Structure formats: structure tokens, C-alpha cells
Amino acid sequence: MESILFQDLGNVAYDTAWDYQEQLMKVSLDAKAQWYNTPELERLKGPDTVHHLLFCEHPHVYTIGKSGHMENLLVNNAMLKELNVSFFKTNRGGDITYHGPGQIVGYPILDLERFFTDLGRYMRNLEEVMIRVLATYGIVAGRLPGSTGVWLDADVPGKARKICAMGVKCSRWVTIHGFALNVNTDLNYFNYIVPCGITDKSVTSLQKELGRPVDEQEVKEKLVYEFGQVFGAEMIIEKPVENVVV
């Protein structure tokens, strides 16, 4: 059984969290490079990579993936400043999305070679974690064919709405970026973008679906538990990290 180190970074700037992910990824990539360069007869085990799962909350920010389209950002720089929203072009997959208060953002840094080498399966596993957690709140969630993320009423014309967006990067089977689950999110910020480049579907949150604010710490605990269950891993809870410095 693999072990995954879990850290809750709290409220942290998007670029700081991104730099931290890249740093953790580099540690694993360096370990894999060293292992590949070791003569096969001297290899006692696999590469000394370390799995991580990071949770955080970001100040208001729009991010766009490497295949995204700038026309899906519906405001100019002056409006971004007025809204107090940052903007970043990222190296993840997917189009544009929003991160902000009341949203749980998860960044798994995993060496998939120690789980399975199938990126599609990895995305389905991330979705499965969300689906299981939402079920504990009585919410039936699922997948939308041809799209990533987790949806409600995906098969009902005119009612499909996304509650969790996803976008990842994978290098030599080591992952960064991840998912964003709307818990108590102010959904008005999605009005200034075309979320994930999808024009005919809306977004939602746990709060909106349940009609009440939701305990975010409780949601985090459920996410960590289900992550371990879905990936068949031991989750090791590390001391919460504040003011991440990279």
C-alpha cells in the first residue's frame, strides 16, 4: 500500500501554491532520474518518490489552462482590478476556471507509476472521490460524457451543472494541479468567465444545493478519507502548514 502525505495549506496565493507543487514534483522527478541512471543490478527497489495531497483555499483568481481560450475571460484588466481578482495562465490541462473563498482546492502530487500508468483512470478516480463525498450529503453526482469534472443532473437537458472542476499536468507520470470543489463558493464570480469553456451549462456549490452553509473542515476530512479509499493508499496527516515558503 502506498502512503500519501496530506497537508492543509490554508489560504494561500495561487502562484505560491503552484510553486510549491512544482518543488514537490521536482523532488520526485529527480528521484526517478537518479533511479533510471542506476544500473539495473543495483536497484533494490523503485525510485524514492513521495506522494502528496495538498488542500488550500485561494484568494479570488481566474486561471486558464494551456489549451484554454482567452475569449472565455469576459472582463478586461481594469475590471479584474475592480473585482480584486488575479489572473494566471497555467500549465495544466483544461480551459478557464475560478478559485476563491469557500472552495476547496486539491493538488495531488502522485507518482502514478506506483499506482497505475493511465491518466484517464486517474481523472476518473479523482471524480470518484468527489462523487462519494457528495453522496454523504445526499447529493447524487456523476460524470458528463466528453467532459472532466463532477456534475449534477448531467443527463437532464437544461439542468446539468458542474460542482467540481478538474485540470492536471503529468510529467513522467508525476502529477500536479488537480480539482476545485465548490462548497460555500460565491458563484457570482463565474459570471465573468465561460467556465471550462462550456457555454450551455452552469455551476453550483454544496451550499446552493443544500440551501445552507457547509462545514468546510468536515468536507476536507471526508475528501481525505475517500481519497485514500479510491486510491488504495494510507493517508498520513501532516501538521497544517501556514505561510508556505518555496
Numbers of helices and strands, H then E, in the chain = 5, 12
Binding residues for substrate: 92-99, 165-167, 178-180
Segments making up each domain of the chain, as ranges: 3-237
What separation in angstroms does the CA of 224 have from each of 9, 55, 116, 174, 215? 14, 9, 20, 19, 15
Residue 53 has pLDDT above 60, yes or no: yes
Provide mean pLDDT across the span 126-142. 98
Binding residues: 92-99, 165-167, 178-180
Q: Is pTM, for the whole model, over 0.85?
A: yes
In this predicted structure, what is the pLDDT of residue 246? 47
| Residue 236 grid coordinates | 498520513
Residue 46 has pLDDT above 80, yes or no: no
Among 39-43, 89-93, 152-156, 229-233, whose mean pLDDT is lowest?
39-43
Strand (E) positions, the chain?
Answer: 3-11, 51-57, 61-64, 86-89, 96-99, 103-109, 141-142, 150-152, 161-171, 174-182, 202-203, 234-237
In this predicted structure, what is the pLDDT of residue 201? 82
Fold of domain 3-237: BirA Bifunctional Protein; domain 2 (3.30.930)
% of the chain exceeding 90 in pLDDT? 81
In this predicted structure, what is the pLDDT of residue 242? 59
Q: Which residue has the cell 452552469?
A: 202
The pLDDT tens digits of the residues spanning 177-214 come to: 999 999 999 999 999 998 877 777 899 999 999 999 99
Provide mean pLDDT across the span 221-236. 98
In this predicted structure, what is the pLDDT of residue 204? 97
Residues 86, 92, 97, 102, Cα dihedral to 10°? -80
Among 14-18, 30-34, 56-60, whose mean pLDDT is lowest?
30-34
Reported confidence tier of residue 234, pLDDT bands at 50, 70, 90: very high
More confident site: 195 or 65:
65
Instruction: Verify whether residue 196 is a known catalytic residue.
Output: yes
Phi, then psi, of 165 in degrees rounded to 5: -95, 155
What are the beta bridge partners of residue 11? 57
Question: How far apart (Å, rounded) are the C-alpha atoms in residues 19 and 154?
Answer: 34
The pLDDT tens digits of the residues spanning 155-175 come to: 888 899 999 999 999 999 999
Contact (Cβ atoms closer than 8 angstroms) between residue 216 and residue 87: no
Reported confidence tier of residue 42, pLDDT bands at 50, 70, 90: low
More confident site: 12 or 147:
12
Mean pLDDT of the chain: 93
Residues 11, 12, 17, 18, Cα dihedral to 10°? 120
Displacement of CA 49 from its chain's centroid (Å)? 20
Question: How far apart (Å, rounded) are the C-alpha atoms in residues 103 and 180?
Answer: 7
In this predicted structure, what is the pLDDT of residue 72? 94
Q: How do beta strands 61-64 and 86-89 pair?
A: parallel
All residues at 6 or more sequence positions from 37 whose CB lies less than 8 Å from its CB, including other chains = none
